[in-house]
Structure 1
Amino acid sequence: MAFEHCPPTVADLIAVLGAHGVTEALIKPLTRNHNDKNQIYSGRDFTPLYPTFDVTFADRGASTSGKKGGQAAGALIPEAVFRDFFWVDDTGREVRARDVRMIIYAQYPETRLSGFSTIENTMPVSLSVDYTKAQPNAVRYLVLGRRGSGQAVAMMVANPPQQFIDDVAGLPSATGSRVWRHLRLRTTAPQRLIALLAAASGRKLPGRRLNAAGATLPFNGTQVCGYTLEHELGIIPNSGKDGDFEGIELKTHTQKKVTLFTPEPDMGLYAADFSSFMTTYGYPDENGHLRVTGIHRVGIRCEKSGLTLRVMNHARGTPISGSVDDDVHLGLFDDAGNLAAGWSLSRMLNSWSSKHNEAVYIPAVKMKCDDAELGAAGYRHYVEFGDRVLWCRETSAEQLFEALYNGTLFLDPAPKYCAGNAALTKRRSQWRVNDIAKAARDLYNDVRTISLSDEMNGT
């Protein structure tokens, strides 16, 4: 078994990747010192690997680097582990790799790829230090294809013909990178999705969903808009890792204000003792239950809670990767400087994940179902989807934090504490934007407003 490939052209590479469900790919020419011992340099920050791929941020062991100029020797080195990474061998078989990770050396800063072995204790020979010593002038490319909502499908290209080399050189650079080339394979999915969205828009649809067997059922919960859209697109809820539509995230919203994600604090009093947090900072509602609410923007004290949201240990405008050794976190602080609730960097980055790297925001209206026959069948709502949607691509950790700094993204919490009644107690940390149409331009590199009807009419 061998993992090396030698496609004559990039078109041939596309054929192989497409057969494995890849929708886009990153391609990097490798130098002699890019091997399993020295790791593979990816760039100064997380991009473009994050959030293109589904990774989990965490800390690994202490740094022992003695490189001149290093400022964080002995500190924990953060890393991002690929959740699903597969090597494709020369027969087309996929073999899972068990420990591929992006290691972040904040003292330089730089990121490197490591851990290429498969679960069968194999790896591409052309990535070994022995290979690079024996063939120092070998032409090699690492190809990382994205499948679904962030799976990595990898190939090693070794000693390809000149046409392939020229083809790769002609590809555009990946956004935010000087070392990776970007290859977009998916050419029909956006058009097919537009057609499906156009067919669903402008109609009063009963609130419904598909069950695991593909049968239609009434749905009356708070997620009725999302489930109804999935029904119209033929998507079975939670049916796989391919994203909502071939890796494209679908987000319905009934108002301009949109909740982007809801990570709970993993630091501070909230994480250590939720009841103490609520009794310390909460106010009683009309039923005597304690609540903590209010808009919390970075650097602005919220009068309702008395807490101020701050970004800690990061200098605005600098790469996040250069600060990861410094305990970067978001914190809600009281006037005495106590950390009431905090979110670690890993918690935030793991929430703003690969599924957000391409997202379509679809406006919706929820109405009461007034049809007696549908009502008798269990339907309580109609849903109608709008014609104009936001199509957003390519985000980053830096854009996420800049949106926090400038107040575009804010915390709008809604926890409730009912002493002695766990069933009524809830935790809810909502990170929101006031107007998704405006906020998207802070969060994504490529934002387009699309009229579905115009697209279908060719105008």
Structure 2
Amino acid sequence: MSGFLKGAANAPNRLLTSRDEGRVMFLGVAASDKIIGYVIDRDNPISSVIARLIDTNSAGVFTEIFIGETNLRELLLKLAEIYRKGWIDSKRLNSNGNAVPCNAPNCGGYTLEAELGVTPNGYPLPDYLDFEIKQYGVNNFESMKPLSPLTLMTPEPTGGYYVDMGVEAFVRKYGYTDKMGRPDRLNFGGIHTIGKRTDITGLTLNLKGYNSVKGNFDPDNGGIVLEDDQGRIAALWNFSSLMEHWTIKHARAGYIPSMARTELAKQYSYGPIISLGLGTDFKLFLDAIAVGHIYYDPGIKVENISSDHPKTKRRSQFRIRISSLYTLYRSWQEYNLAVL
């Protein structure tokens, strides 16, 4: 930090250069993406307040302090407002922030994001008021039966045959001909659950560098792996890259049910019973994989395989059933938007 502060007026040089115990350094990110730093000693009254706030919600060497009661209330009120709108025309926000019609299969999520003012992007950051917002389809708001599992994240592998030889070679080696008979196409899919061989691909999902008994994992050398029958690694996701994504994006998450209809137009309705998960860490994510709650369910394909220019589509996704989501968080709470 001293390098950044060289030449700055009123820099806290004494606190930065001393070895006094009890110092606290704050790092915060403003809405403009500017990073703000602040350092105090243990005699500062703020230090004792911080000591009472600190819990186990840590990300690496840092402790994240959630002070978002205001954010939580604001989020609930906004979701209640969306719930009361009833049926909403399918839409999404373009890069300029303007609402445009949405006709894709996943428009339920885009429509909710548009109502929240969230522009789709690839940044691994929470969506709204420090919350990751996840929508999932249900058959009705009485039984709340989910129409499908929930996709938690879609990270590309960081190692193995997939990375060494490329996605096309990977699908040619481990994929299969299209089950619907579409010509000149290979697919790589199927549910891969921990420790169980998936016959259609011949691969098994495993965790390397994870000890469920001791409750620890190796962040530098461990990873989620797909292995063939000889133990060769077909694909690998190292823990370090997954851990950063999970702890940043999913520390606080809201899960909102939706219904869809197409009679008059493509429309969605949201709520009223929503769930909020607070406080997670990467170990909870790995624990859920280890017991089979989270599984790998890819949708990768190569089209025009006999041509000189085959077309690939990548989609590696880790999914979970809605009923198991609570296992990922220290605090899991349901809210009824109809009474807010």
> Normalised by the size of structure 2, how large is the TM-score?
0.82
Q: For 1:261, which of 139, 153, 171 is the aligned residue?
A: 153
Does 1:281 find its partner at 2:174? yes
Q: Which amino acid aligns with 1:190?
A: L
SS at match of 1:352: helix
**1:363 to 1:337, Cα distance in 2 relative to 1, 3 A:** same
Alignment of 1:163-174 (within 5 A): 163-164=45-46, 166-169=48-51, 171-174=52-55
Does 1:199 find its partner at 2:78? no
Q: Which amino acid aligns with 1:451?
A: N
Percent of residue pairs bearing the same amino acid type: 28
For 1:399 and 1:116, locate their aligned partners in 2 and report how far apart those are by CA, in whole Å: 36
Q: For 2:287, which of 402, 405, 411 is the aligned residue?
A: 402
**1:386 to 1:180, Cα distance in 2 relative to 1, 3 A:** same
Q: For 1:175, which of 56, 61, 65 is the aligned residue?
A: 56
Q: Which amino acid aligns with 1:351?
A: H
Q: Which amino acid aligns with 2:151?
A: T
Alignment of 1:133-152 (within 5 A): 140-145=23-28
Cα displacement string for residues 163-200 of structure 1 (whole angstroms, at most 9, x for unaligned residues):
5455445x2431267x9887543332222221221121
For 2:159 and 2:152, locate their aligned partners in 1 and report how far apart those are by CA, in whole Å: 21
Runs of 5+ in structure 1 lacking a partner? 1-114, 372-380
**Cα offset for 1:307?**
0.8
Cα displacement string for residues 104-156 of structure 1 (whole angstroms, at most 9, x for unaligned residues):
xxxxxxxxxxx663175766413444x34xxx5x8633234465699864311
For 2:201 and 2:63, locate their aligned partners in 1 and report how far apart those are by CA, in whole Å: 47
Q: Which amino acid aligns with 2:200?
A: K
**1:156 to 1:307, Cα distance in 2 relative to 1, 3 A:** same
**Cα offset for 1:423?**
6.8
Alignment of 1:299-310 (within 5 A): 299-310=195-206
**1:216 to 1:332, Cα distance in 2 relative to 1, 3 A:** closer
CA contact under 8 A between 1:140 and 1:156: conserved in structure 2? Answer: yes
For 2:31 and 2:274, locate their aligned partners in 1 and report how far apart those are by CA, in whole Å: 22
Which residue of structure 1 aligns with residue 144 of structure 2?
none
Which residue of structure 2 aligns with residue 156 of structure 1?
39
Runs of 5+ in structure 2 lacking a partner? 138-146
Which residue of structure 2 aligns with residue 356 of structure 1?
250
CA contact under 8 A between 1:149 and 1:248: conserved in structure 2? Answer: no
Q: Which amino acid aligns with 1:426?
A: K
Cα displacement string for residues 257-301 of structure 1 (whole angstroms, at most 9, x for unaligned residues):
100001111211111222222122111111241112211111111
Tell which structure's C-alpha radius of gyration is larger.
1
SS at match of 1:189: helix
**Cα offset for 1:392?**
0.8
Cα displacement string for residues 199-245 of structure 1 (whole angstroms, at most 9, x for unaligned residues):
21261110123445554322222332222112323344449997422
**Cα offset for 1:357?**
0.6
Does 1:125 find its partner at 2:13? yes
SS at match of 1:361: strand
**Cα offset for 1:425?**
2.0
**1:253 to 1:152, Cα distance in 2 relative to 1, 3 A:** farther
Q: Which amino acid aligns with 1:337?
A: G
Does 1:413 find its partner at 2:298? yes
Which residue of structure 2 aligns with residue 58 of structure 1?
none
For 1:252 and 1:231, locate their aligned partners in 2 and report how far apart those are by CA, in whole Å: 12
For 1:246 and 1:156, locate their aligned partners in 2 and report how far apart those are by CA, in whole Å: 25
SS at match of 2:210: coil
For 1:313 and 1:242, locate their aligned partners in 2 and report how far apart those are by CA, in whole Å: 27
Does 1:292 find its partner at 2:185? no
Which residue of structure 1 aligns with residue 331 of structure 2?
446
Which residue of structure 1 aligns with residue 230 of structure 2?
336
Q: Which amino acid aligns with 1:417?
A: V
Q: Which amino acid aligns with 1:195?
A: L
> Normalised by the size of structure 1, how large is the TM-score?
0.62
For 1:316 and 1:216, locate their aligned partners in 2 and report how far apart those are by CA, in whole Å: 46
Cα displacement string for residues 419-452 of structure 1 (whole angstroms, at most 9, x for unaligned residues):
137574211111000x22x322221111111111
Which residue of structure 2 aligns with residue 272 of structure 1?
164
CA contact under 8 A between 2:204 and 2:226: conserved in structure 1? Answer: yes
Q: Which amino acid aligns with 2:169?
A: S
For 1:257 and 1:237, locate their aligned partners in 2 and report how far apart those are by CA, in whole Å: 21
CA contact under 8 A between 1:441 and 1:447: conserved in structure 2? Answer: yes
CA contact under 8 A between 2:193 and 2:204: conserved in structure 1? Answer: yes
Cα displacement string for residues 375-433 of structure 1 (whole angstroms, at most 9, x for unaligned residues):
xxxxxx11111211110111111111111100011000111112137574211111000
SS at match of 2:249: helix
For 1:353 and 1:150, locate their aligned partners in 2 and report how far apart those are by CA, in whole Å: 18
